[in-house]
């Protein structure tokens, strides 16, 4: 990864300018630690007005529409229009005018039956990231676990990392809302998921698929194939790519198989207590909207809940070397624990680009002994979310017959389309990290701050033509009077609310949600005036200042087109690309030299943490789950071991935050890097007192841990009994 990066640095004028003052290692650390991709342009009012006019047919003649917008299916496009759209004559001749532009009936051979009411299904599966992998989004500092997956990787797990799929179906439309515990999902990966589903005869699931990342930075990388984005995600691993891809395909098919009659309702509430504006450059711009999508069966039992909110998942820092679902997972888990009966919660980001998590410390009501302060903070987020969300659910009415429509449309991207005013012409294929190396440009005490211009942009990395991102994709959903629009990146609040408000005005729908970090990743999305204020969010921008406004315009017209397909688009849609040619590889695992067994019995440390150790397998294949069991008395005073669970019935185990996992190896990879066999020692750690009260306590009595894992054969270990009496 660093060689790749340095090869770009060496071609950069900024590198040559600062080299006498900064070592290459320092430059590498600083630039990657603050690396962001995304941007926006000053509002192109003429383009915005043109798009809005065209798609609403307000006071526009047929001739003017033809001049402003792309033609329909029967119209011929000029060579210039084809060039602007990124297409050529050969590609046009092969197109069929559907929204994936090429439909093979064989790809729909096993499509779901047409149903005259709503159905829903849910499934969940581990993404398959191994402990040891490096985290994403931050440039990991030195001092982490040196192992085959990363030179400075993770060695602790706070929670599991999962893919959760919620399927909603009516008629011939199947909406698949898939959220992943990842920092981002690259658009080529999403195309590959769609292509695999089509190859399996499930084109209906592919057409309705929307993948959103929670944006936890404490997740694994190595699955993004794009050259530039590897700087965030680490060296690409075909083996991990296929593992995650396979798991996502399985979870989608399982959700489909679990579909049953359902009712759906939605509401937007206001929650200010879980986020705060972190961007100083543009003043206080906050919108506290939280969308709640409630799915029940016909008797009113909650089947699933989707939450749409703006909150960066960044409580856990890079120097912790921990895998975790972070703040978004804490919100999900906090609600799930406290429901009267368990139902899964799925978190979809909205305009979180400038919104940090707020820690509601008023929930710190006990003297806990958690191993890390961040765990207390995440628990407080979960408690506050439950206090705000659960009471609101009873006010949401559901119905079995909401209208459902979904489309994902791909559009061309180039500098002329994104930045028509020429302010990014020095970087015709894109540029990254285009500001000085300082992070902030906050107003001073007199309210003055620097406003950059196009002449000030000096990109640390100039994107070569071969690596330019030439298309993007946006999904639009109508569910009753609710609309959803995806954005492929990190929208700042101003971008998200403009997209929402313009789409509401154009469509007449009652509610509109923006799904950020969804259907791809193009970095931070800002308005142009905000972009030219610099700062962390504005410091990068693979397509310069115009990207935010460009994507707003695409989102508005795609949403309007979903509701009325006679409304023309301002671009020629891009066909579904072919599947990536990623070689099929398996994750290599090392022989475990010790059989699975307990090596340390449960014991209490001086700080009050209960801990035990066992020998297991290589984390490449071993993803052990530790559950807590409590001894109870059955008939005839016989001991019965029952699983500890929360109020809702959610299990108390190491997939959640209750039991921390860690790993050490013998010999270390520093001592012997060759993978010729070693011992893998796993450790469980659990406090018995919690700063934020749980719904599973009090922890008094006799307990044991049960571990289930693979080494590579499945194993199950039951620990010695330990007694907690305080």
Residue spans of the domains in the chain: they are: 1-33, 34-44+405-563, 106-402, 597-724
Closest CA to 714 of 622, 626, 598, 612: 622
Give SS3 for 694.
coil
Does 62 score more than 90 pLDDT?
no
Does 142 score more than 90 pLDDT?
no
Does 402 score more than 60 pLDDT?
yes
- For the ranges 132-146, 484-498, 598-612, which has the lowest average pLDDT? 132-146
Angle at 393 between CA 388 and CA 397, to 5 degrees: 145
Query: Is the bond leading into 456 cis (omega within 30 degrees of zero)?
Result: no
pLDDT interval class at 149 (50, 70, 90):
very high
Percentage of the chain exceeding pLDDT 70: 85
- For the ranges 122-131, 403-412, 628-637, which has the lowest average pLDDT? 628-637
Q: What does the pLDDT read at residue 637?
A: 80
Per-residue pLDDT, averaged over 398-422, amounts to: 96
CA dist 103 → 170, 189, 198, 206, 211 (Å)? 21, 20, 10, 12, 21
pLDDT interval class at 438 (50, 70, 90):
low
Report which listed range, 214-228, 435-449, 658-672, is most confident: 658-672
Q: Which residue has the higher pLDDT, 96 or 209?
A: 209
Per-residue pLDDT, averaged over 329-339, amounts to: 98
pLDDT interval class at 332 (50, 70, 90):
very high
Q: What does the pLDDT read at residue 582?
A: 95
CATH, domain range 597-724: 2.60.40
Does 78 score more than 70 pLDDT?
no
Q: What does the pLDDT read at residue 535?
A: 87
- Give the pLDDT confidence of 80-119 residue by residue, as tens digits: 333 233 333 344 333 333 455 566 889 999 999 999 999 9
The residues with which 663 forms a beta bridge, in sequence order, are: 682
Residues 565, 573: Cα–Cα separation, whole Å: 13
Q: What does the pLDDT read at residue 437?
A: 57
Closest CA to 590 of 627, 547, 619, 568: 619
Residues 592, 681: Cα–Cα separation, whole Å: 10
- Give the pLDDT confidence of 289-321 residue by residue, as tens digits: 999 999 999 999 999 999 999 999 999 988 899
Q: What does the pLDDT read at residue 43?
A: 35
Per-residue pLDDT, averaged over 317-342, amounts to: 96
Q: What does the pLDDT read at residue 102?
A: 60
- For the ranges 140-154, 203-217, 255-269, 543-557, which has the lowest average pLDDT? 140-154
Does 1 score more than 60 pLDDT?
no
Does 132 score more than 60 pLDDT?
yes
- Give the pLDDT confidence of 375-397 residue by residue, as tens digits: 999 999 999 999 999 999 999 99
Map 458-481 to HEC letters.
Answer: CCCEECCHHHCCCEEEEEEEEECC
Does 198 score more than 90 pLDDT?
yes
Per-residue pLDDT, averaged over 616-623, amounts to: 98
For residue 60, report the phi and psi dihedrals to the nearest 5 degrees: -125, 130
Average pLDDT score over the chain: 86
Q: What does the pLDDT read at residue 29?
A: 39
Q: What does the pLDDT read at residue 72?
A: 33
Crossing angle of helices 24-33 and 2-10, rounded to 10°: 110
Q: Which residue has the higher pLDDT, 379 or 137?
A: 379
């Amino acid at each position: 990864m660093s060689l790749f990066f340095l090869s770009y640095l060496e071609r950069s004028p900024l590198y040559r300018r600062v080299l006498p003052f900064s070592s290459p290692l320092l430059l590498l650390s600083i630039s990657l630690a603050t690396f962001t991709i995304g941007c926006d342009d000053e509002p192109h009012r003429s383009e915005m007005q043109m798009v809005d006019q065209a798609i609403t047919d307000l006071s526009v003649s047929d001739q003017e529409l033809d001049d402003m917008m792309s033609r329909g299916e029967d119209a011929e496009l000029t060579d210039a229009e084809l060039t602007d759209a990124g297409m050529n004559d050969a590609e046009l001749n092969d197109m069929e005018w559907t929204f994936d532009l090429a439909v093979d009936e064989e790809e729909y051979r096993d499509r779901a039956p047409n149903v005259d009411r709503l159905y829903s299904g849910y499934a969940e599966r581990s993404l398959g990231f191994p402990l040891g992998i490096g985290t994403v989004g931050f440039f990991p500092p030195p001092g982490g676990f040196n192992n085959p997956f990363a030179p400075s990787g993770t060695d602790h797990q706070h929670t599991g990392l999962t893919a959760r799929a919620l399927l909603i179906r009516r008629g011939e439309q199947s909406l698949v809302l898939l959220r992943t515990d990842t920092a981002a999902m690259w658009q080529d990966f999403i195309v590959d998921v769609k292509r695999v589903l089509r190859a399996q005869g499930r084109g209906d699931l592919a057409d309705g698929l929307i993948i959103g990342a929670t944006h936890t930075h404490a997740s694994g990388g190595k699955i993004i194939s794009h050259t530039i984005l590897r700087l965030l995600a680490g060296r690409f691993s075909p083996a991990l790519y296929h593992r995650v891809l396979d798991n996502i395909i399985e979870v989608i098919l399982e959700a489909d198989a679990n579909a049953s009659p359902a009712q759906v309702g939605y509401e937007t509430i206001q929650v200010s207590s879980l986020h705060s504006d972190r961007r100083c450059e543009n003043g206080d711009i906050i919108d506290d909207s939280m969308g709640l999508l409630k799915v029940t069966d016909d008797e009113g039992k909650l089947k699933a809940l989707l939450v749409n909110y703006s909150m960066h998942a960044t409580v856990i820092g890079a120097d912790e070397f921990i895998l975790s679902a972070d703040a978004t997972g804490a919100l999900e888990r906090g609600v799930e624990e406290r429901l009267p009966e368990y139902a899964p919660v799925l978190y979809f980001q909205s305009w979180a680009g400038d919104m940090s998590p707020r820690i509601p410390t008023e929930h710190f009501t006990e003297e806990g002994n958690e191993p890390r302060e961040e765990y207390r903070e995440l628990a407080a987020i979960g408690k506050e979310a439950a206090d705000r969300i659960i009471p609101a659910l009873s006010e949401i009415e559901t119905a079995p017959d909401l209208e459902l429509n979904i489309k994902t449309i791909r559009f061309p991207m180039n500098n002329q389309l994104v930045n028509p005013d020429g302010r990014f012409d020095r970087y015709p294929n894109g540029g990254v990290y285009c500001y000085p190396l300082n992070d902030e440009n906050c107003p001073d005490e007199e309210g003055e701050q620097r406003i950059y211009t196009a002449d000030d942009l000096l990109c640390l990395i100039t994107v070569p033509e071969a690596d330019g991102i030439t298309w993007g994709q946006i999904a639009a959903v109508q569910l009753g009077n609710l609309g959803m629009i995806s954005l492929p990146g990190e929208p700042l609040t101003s971008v998200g609310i403009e997209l929402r408000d313009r789409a509401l005005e154009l469509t007449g729908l009652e509610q509109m949600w923006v799904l950020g970090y969804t259907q791809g990743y193009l970095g931070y999305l800002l308005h142009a005036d905000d972009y030219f204020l610099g700062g962390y969010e504005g410091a990068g921008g693979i397509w310069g200042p115009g990207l935010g406004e460009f994507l707003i315009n695409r989102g508005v017209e795609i949403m309007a087109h979903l509701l009325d397909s006679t409304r023309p688009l301002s671009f020629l849609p891009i066909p579904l690309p072919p599947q990536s040619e990623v070689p099929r590889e398996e994750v290599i695992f090392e022989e475990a030299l010790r059989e699975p067994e307990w090596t340390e019995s449960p014991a209490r440390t001086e700080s009050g943490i209960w801990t035990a150790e066992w020998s297991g397998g290589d984390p490449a294949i071993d993803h052990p789950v530790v559950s807590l069991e409590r001894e109870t008395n059955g008939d005839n005073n016989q001991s019965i071991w029952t699983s500890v669970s929360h109020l809702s019935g959610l299990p108390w185990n190491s997939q959640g935050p209750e039991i921390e996992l860690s790993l050490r190896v013998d010999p270390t990879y520093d001592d012997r890097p060759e993978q010729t066999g070693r011992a893998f020692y796993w450790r469980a750690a659990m406090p018995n007192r919690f700063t934020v009260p749980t719904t599973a306590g009090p922890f008094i009595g006799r307990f044991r841990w049960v571990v289930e894992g693979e080494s590579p054969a499945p194993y199950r270990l039951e620990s010695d009994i330990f007694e907690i009496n305080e």
